Structure 1
Amino acid sequence: MKRIKVTAGIITDHDKVLITRRPPKENFVGGWEFPGGKIELNETPEACLARELKEELNIDVSVGNFCAEVCHDYGDMNIHLMAYYCTILDGEIQISVHDKYKWVKIIDLLKYDLLPADIPIAKKVMEEYYE
């Protein structure tokens, strides 16, 4: 089974967090996720996240504190997902890979059809925000 290491950015703005939706041509079509992507050979998770957010959303970010780590078996692949809090430094969000993005209230995160690996991260974000 293929194991893929990926990152996810938790980008917040007051009581909201950014999520993106997978487009029709991708796996898990219509599922919502925290934006990010695959770690390349010899790349740190933080460098990957900054690169992926620039490529996919056209934003420059500062990668901050570690949020959570999840391993999820999707049957044909195993995802090792590392999530970090990020702050937008520059740029306006322009989607190139996803078909939609949304700023959603943190308290409402679980009302969206999040991908299975993203659900534990959403719960952690909610728990930390409402401590």
Structure 2
Amino acid sequence: MKVAVGIILRDNSVFVALRNSKQDQGGLWEFPGGKCEASESVETALVRELKEECGISITGCDFFKTISHDYGDKLVELFFYKVTGFDGEPVGKEGQEVRWVAFSDLMSYGFPEANKQIVVELMTHY
């Protein structure tokens, strides 16, 4: 399963969302994004997902890293993009709790296993 993920950056902080308790990995924080549709490119999925989930339109982003992770019941391939420009103010359009978090505070949030390497790299580089 291919997943497009946006690391939305602003003022030395990153935008995160709390996964619904009924979802897989529920109750953990994540960088917004979602599954790529069958014929959809990762970049197209990223634009669509961030519009649907957060209400923003991307104006600038750069590929950051791909991480493959086996959760046992499924293998996911996560394509992370640093989103450095966007129109609108990100919100939780699906009712999810969201917040801007300083890089130095990221370790105090619980993230899915596949996101932990990204958290460490963000804390190291920012």
With the length of structure 2 as denominator, give the TM-score of the two structures.
Answer: 0.91
Aligned to 1:107: 104
Matched, 1:40 2:60: no
Aligned equivalent of 2:67: 70
Instruction: Give the AA of the match of 1:19.
Output: V
Q: Tell me the matched-pair count.
A: 126
Contact 1:68 1:83 in 2 (8 A): yes
Q: Which runs of 5+ in 2 are unaligned?
A: none
How big is each residue's C-alpha offset from its partner over 1:1-56, in whole Å with a ceiling of 9 and x where there is no partner? xxx11011011112110111101221111100100000112211111101000001
Structure 1 unaligned residues grouped into runs of 5+: none
Deviation of 1:88 after TM superposition, in Å, equals 4.2
2-side partners of 1:121 and 1:18: how far apart? 13
Deviations 1:82-104 (A, max 9, x none): 10011342223231335211110
**Kept after mapping to 2: 8 A contact 1:68/1:124:** no
Q: Which moved more, 1:88-97 or 1:64-73?
A: 88-97
Secondary structure of residue in 2 paired with 1:50: helix
**Alpha-carbon distance between aligned partners in 2 of 1:24 and 1:57, rounded to the nearest angstrom:** 18
CA RMSD, 1 decimal:
1.5
